[in-house]
Amino acid sequence: MGTAYKQLSLEDRCQIARLHQDGCSIRKIAASLDRAPSTIARELKRNTGRKVGYKPAYASEQTKARRWKGSKLERQ
């Protein structure tokens, strides 16, 4: 009954980068990927550098680095 969330793949990120570079709006990018516009906006905001822009491989690496791999007891 709950919503199942699917992470963005490297292919999705490559398509986001290509469409963003072509000047497409966030809503158009979201429609082409069948995702929510907020997902695309957050992805671009989190992983866009000032000088280099949005790089899909870097974004994928950063996503993996942000994920917690330890147990709950290790957090405390």
**Cα three-residue angle 25-53-45, rounded to 5 degrees:** 60
- 2-26 pLDDT, tens digit per residue, is 677 788 999 999 999 999 999 999 9
In the chain, what are the domain boundaries? 10-57
The tens digit of pLDDT for each residue in 16-69 reads 999 999 999 999 999 999 999 999 999 999 998 888 899 999 999 988 888 877
Tokens of 38: 């907020």
pTM of the model: 0.81
Which run of H or of E encompasses 54? Answer: strand 53-54
- Spatial CB neighbours of 33, under 8 Å, sequence gap ≥ 6: 12, 15, 16, 40
